[in-house]
Amino acid sequence: MAHDFLLLLAVLVASASAAAVKNKPKKDQPSTDGDITLLNPTAINGMNFYETDILLTDEQHQQVIGRKAISNLALRWPTAANGFPEVLYRFGDANVDKTAVAAGIAHWEANTCIKFRLDESQTAPHIKFIMGSGCWSYIGRINSSTGQDLSIGTGCTGVGTVAHEIGHAMGFYHEQSRSDRDSQVKILLENIIAGKESNFKSYADNNYSVPYDFLSDMHYTSKTFTSNGKLTIATVDPMNQELIGVRNGLSHMDLLIANKMYPCIEKWLSKCNLTSDPCQNYGYMGANCTCICPSGSAGANCETLQKAYYDTKRFGYSQIITSDANPVTSPNYLVITLLT
């Protein structure tokens, strides 16, 4: 009964969130760009999508083990002569939104040590940005002289969506594929379109000791592949429902994994003449020799926890009151009273 009640609360919170968006300042609104469930076809050139927007090579189909980030070094982008990872790219057609691509690339470059280099004549493995049908990418680096397509189609041009698809090309799977996801979210199979259930599997993974993140740019939305307009993913804590699928850019934990994965943090520590990372509470050493701290932490080494990680990231559409006292009202809040 308690579990069913929590799921009901999650539905109420999500419904109120959608209504409250209309009254919130534009700067606080989550991105609605890149709803891959609606934008993407089921297949491209005879190849079926894996988890909605990922294309896999024949070899990957045989070996795929979904996780947050790939472990196979052969699928990572190589290091250039300057000692930092470099991704070669070009534009595959004249219709792709180059401004949107540039913004997504800038977002990755500003927050990692990965650099992207445009070379239209490139024959080495590279990303080929196209305006295809929807938003999709291969996973990791594909060894192809003709390049690996990455589609930024109509409705896919928000920086968070472009960063999401580049994330797949860097080696990221979806957040809700992690093996620890069942302690954080519940997959509501009864609300998923028949035949789409396989998109919600969880797998053994390599998460680089980074916790599950509702804010991840790689997380599905609450109603991905819904058959009836109801939730397909419900957060165990209803207060977190509004956080998932908000695709405004890479989260702190996304960046922590990316910078461990490539490995940028090691390079920055060496540059800063440090033998170990002094940053605490999932902070990490950045390029300017100072700690990059997660939301809610402060101090030179992120040692002071002032708030919970998610507290400053909520949109304020829900609030839980844990008593049966007088009702509380607010124009932008849903108030849920839990009788104790």
Whether 165 contacts 103, CB under 8 Å? no
Where residue 72 falls among pLDDT bands split at 50, 70, 90? confident
Query: Taking Cα atoms as reference points, which of 162, 222, 224, 171 lies closest to residue 198?
Result: 224
pLDDT at 323: 38
Residue 200 vs residues 94, 177, 185, 196, 226: alpha-carbon distances, Å: 35, 7, 11, 8, 12
The kind and range of the H/E element at 43 are strand 43-44
What is the number of alpha carbons within 13 Å of residue 47 lying toward its C-beta?
18
**Residue boundaries of the structural domains of the chain:** 30-262, 263-311
Q: pLDDT of 120-173, one tens digit each?
A: 887 899 999 999 988 999 999 998 889 999 999 999 999 999 999 999 999 999
CA 270, CA 276: separation in Å to the nearest integer? Answer: 9
pLDDT band at 15 (very low <50, low <70, confident <90, very high): very low
DSSP letters for 220-265: PPTTTTBSSSS-SEEESSGGGGGGTT--SS--HHHHHHHHHHTTHH
Residue 183 has pLDDT above 70, yes or no: yes
Give the pLDDT of residue 70.
64
Among candidates 49, 262, 63, which has minimal Cα distance to 167? Answer: 262
Q: Is 165 a catalytic residue?
A: yes
- Work out the mean pLDDT of the chain and round it to a whole number: 81
Distance of alpha carbon 53 from alpha carbon 149, whole angstroms = 12
**Under CATH, which number does the domain 30-262 receive?**
3.40.390.10
The residue-averaged pLDDT of 69-76 equals: 75
* pLDDT of 20 over the 50 cut: no
Task: List, in sequence order, every residue forming a beta bridge with 230; answer none if it has no partner.
Answer: none
pLDDT digits (tens, 9 = 90+) for 262-294: 999 999 999 999 999 999 999 999 999 999 999
Q: Rounded distance, CA 323 to CA 314, Å?
A: 22
Q: What is the DSSP letter of 294?
A: P
pLDDT tier at 203 (50, 70, 90 boundaries)? confident
Beta strand 43-44 with 233-235 is unpaired
pLDDT at 272: 97
Tokens of 200: 């919600």
Task: Tell me 302's DSSP state.
Answer: S
Residue 69: its pLDDT value, please? 57
The amino acid at 242: E
Q: What is the pLDDT of residue 26?
A: 37
Query: Rounded to whole angstroms, how far apart are CA atoms 224 and 193?
Result: 9
Q: Which one is catalytic: 165, 175, 197, 303?
A: 165
Q: What is the pLDDT of residues 213-240, one digit of tens each?
A: 999 999 999 999 999 999 999 999 999 9
Instruction: Read off the pLDDT band of 204 (50, 70, 90).
Output: low
In the chain, the percentage of residues whose pLDDT exceeds 90 is 62
Cis preceding linkage at 263, omega within 30: yes
pLDDT for the residue 144: 87
